[in-house]
Structure 1
């Protein structure tokens, strides 16, 4: 009986040590395998009812959207992000695309791209056509703040003649051309002064609330290869002040890209419109100390620790 009691005592000691030393670690591992947020991501569908051109297969975007929507629903995403150029020739083709997006069971948040502005008479109201709360906006989910910038604000295609924004765009382009910049293309745009102030305020609020930040843009901020936001350096100067920024995610350059500067990963998503069959969509998964992009088809998978 004494031997049996001793064995029980030893087993209980081992069990107590397991509870104290190993169980918290195992629980932590289990928790870290489950993302805080799972988000569907896609960019540059550029749907249009027109003949294919080069590597762009306009009608095929509907089939690709259907595939992505079904995948997002099966993976129970918390919401989805679309980073601009939903359509190729402005809102005339939007109703058809929205019909294919409608089976999504969770909300979708989007940005506008340069192609979304084609044949638009009143660019100031275009965001409401696409179901956006404003031309640029932000929201929080738990301890994550999502900041959506309007990189079309300073452009010829998204401003009206004689407007303050058109004048600001012209001054900016003239300055960039004088300095030999290659991004002064008609399909690129920039961020206006009022929006830069708003961005700084959003990031300051995130710092106050101890939040992580993901910045979403249509035109990339980096690398500087001719596709970048016109005044990308002004935007970057603000972002670099805030280590709360954990990721900048963009569209526009259909080839995709990646660069890391000042501890911020800048990811350009591959465009869905490209190639007849290969798709480009994925999941953005957020963890306490890690961000994962799980790409499908042409979208590149990436992991960032912070």
Structure 2
């Protein structure tokens, strides 16, 4: 009897360790969150200490490895202005012990003539994509797909960009800046299909992007309202997480929480990254440095 009880207690302990370390096979998943490293081999400007980002990233990676997260998500703006600055960042990101999933930011396109080359360097399986861990579907949107800086001239996306800008002007909105982008009609249809399938299968969905879709007036994606309207129609969407707005923000659109996580680039020494833990009932974001922490319950 005592032997059976000891075996039972050992099994409970092993399960606890399994969940704590964020393995996708259990009900708990833990993963790292990084945004706006924005490294550049250039002088400081205002609150942006470009060279300091490498040390911050190294400290971030050490923490994520020590915490044994299941994987990490990078929300873009890896570099600030020069494609040559990408390699020092990638060399450090290789030290992550678990897989890294990336979506690009607007700064990552500077000096890039071939988008596919950029996606290949970032180890992205496509311009936008999704992956599954346990019963969670992670959707990596690309809000730079339709933008003045992302090589759309002469393609079908150029007309879509023009239409987005016309709608922004008609609505007298504030997000028509040259550093904002949107998702194409093709990506929108793909997202709708992903959500329909997830809803049918009972999957839970997290949406990730560089540009926010809410909470950050003037910094949101060019077709923010259309995307929010789509997401609001699916109860499987549990949260939307973005970067781009370095000071961070938080709000709700209906029942969906929108988190804008702080950018690593800002300030001389303070870091900014997080670890997210998912359970069946809640999302817990533990912020490090400037990154705020959140605890959100799911309905």
Same fold (TM over 0.5): yes
User: Would you say 1:198 and 2:190 are equivalent positions?
Assistant: yes
Once structures 1 and 2 are overlaid, which stretch shifts more, 249-258 or 126-135?
A: 126-135
**Residue of structure 2 equivalent to 1:92:** 84
Over 3 Å counting, the alpha-carbon distance change for 1:194 and 1:90 in structure 2 is: farther
Counterpart-to-counterpart distance in 1, 2:296 and 2:213? 18
Given the alignment, which residue of 99, 119, 123 partners 2:115?
123
* 2:70 is equivalent to residue 39 of structure 1: no
Task: Please say which structure displays the higher CA radius of gyration.
Answer: 1
After the TM superposition, which residues 157-306 of structure 1 pair with which residues of structure 2 at under 5 Å, given as runs? 157-223=149-215, 225-306=217-298
Q: Which residue of 1 aligns with 2:75?
A: 83
Is 2:45 aligned against 1:62?
Answer: no
Distance 1:255 1:167 in 2: 32
Deviation of 1:172 after TM superposition, in Å, equals 1.2
* Distance (whole Å) between structure 2 residues aligned to residue 45 and residue 72 of structure 1: 15
- Hey, what does 1:134 align to over in structure 2? 126
How many Å apart are 1:201 and its aligned residue? 0.6
What is the rounded CA distance, in whole Å, between the counterparts of 2:70 and 2:147 in structure 1? 33
Distance in 1 of aligned mates of 2:142 and 2:240:
13
Aligned positions, number: 281
**TM-align CA RMSD:** 1.9
| Structure 1: stretches of 5+ with no match in the other structure | 1-22
Matching residue of 2:106: 114
CA deviation profile, 1:146-198 (whole Å, cap 9, x unmatched): 00111011111003322111121012102211221110000000110000000
Q: Indicate how the Cα distance of structure 1 residues 175 and 292 shifts in structure 2: closer, same or farther if over 3 A, else same.
A: same
Q: C-alpha separation between the residues in 2 aligned to 1:127 and 1:212?
A: 26
Distance 1:133 1:240, change over 3 A: same
- Unmatched 5+ stretches in structure 2: 1-8, 23-27
Aligned mates of 1:62, 1:242 — CA distance in 2:
39
User: Which stretches of structure 1, 4 residues or longer, exceed 4 Å deviation after superposition?
Assistant: none
Q: In the alignment, is the contact (CA less than 8 A) between 2:287 and 2:293 conserved in 1?
A: yes
TM-score (norm 1): 0.88
Q: Distance in 1 between matches of 2:162 and 2:259?
A: 28
Q: Is the 8 A contact 2:113 2:151 kept in 1?
A: no
Describe the shift of the 1:59–1:138 C-alpha distance in structure 2 as closer, same or farther (beyond 3 A): same
Offset at residue 126 of structure 1 (A): 2.1
For each residue in 1:85-116, what CA deviation from the matched residue of structure 2 results, as whole angstroms up to 9, or x when unmatched? 01111432111111111211000001100000
